[in-house]
Amino acid sequence: MAKLTEKHNYEGTLVCVEGIDGSGKSTQLALLRDWLKASGKDVIFTEWNSSPLISQTTKLAKKKNMLSPRTFSLLHAVDFADRLKQVIAPALKAGFIVLADRYAYTAFARDVARGVDPKWVRQVYDFAIKPDLTIYFDIDPKTSMERICFNRTPKFYEAGMDLKLSNDPFESYLLFQTRVIKEYKKMLNEFDIVKLDANDSIHKKQVAIRKMLKEILEAKGVTI
């Protein structure tokens, strides 16, 4: 876990957002990206489960509901490793600001919530680079469900239906996401993750994020 607990030596800056669905993290990252680009900064965006190498395989397996917790974990690890090698590390070497919508911490939260051994998951991702800034958007599972399931039923894995916590997808969602949140909160001190209240206004959260990033960039001699 040395790489995830020690500062990297790349010229660029890595910013990650974490949190369960409906926490507003993606909205905040999009706003941050627009602001950075408008300021003339070189920005690269990457998101969870988006590697061309493996994402289609993962989606197909999800549709067939055939993934065990450990298989689920390994597929996402392959996706992450490919994006780290092909996108994240090269961009950081080139001095870019990399914005990641979810990072290894997503695996540490979701996989452990599915019963996978936390030490094993951390070992799988021991190659990951420590972000310069990681922000966790804290939201309760009921509010999350109300936001994302307003006009639909929670998806099978999204609701943790594979764990057979409940036959009702809504109840299962609440139970599973409660587990995920518990794991996220365990990580805050372990990985120097900043917690923000997801219920705050969009503007207030964005101001706080920009302030933190400005301080990090200024310490590297980058003005914005």
pLDDT tens digits for range 114-158 = 999 999 999 999 999 999 999 999 999 999 999 998 888 999 999
Q: What is the pLDDT of residue 61?
A: 66
> Long-range contacts of range 157-166, CB-CB < 8 Å, 24 or more positions apart?
157/62, 157/67, 157/72, 158/21, 160/113, 160/114, 162/65, 162/67, 162/69, 162/114, 163/114, 163/115
Q: What is the pLDDT of residue 151?
A: 81
Q: Stretch 190-212: mean pLDDT, rounded?
A: 97
Domains of the chain: 2-219 (3.40.50.300)
Spatial contact of 93 and 72, defined as CB atoms under 8 Å apart: no
How confident is the model over 69-107, as pLDDT tens digits?
888 889 899 999 999 999 999 999 999 999 999 999 999
Between the alpha carbon of residue 105 and those of residues 17, 90, 100, 113, 173, the distances in Å are 10, 21, 11, 12, 20
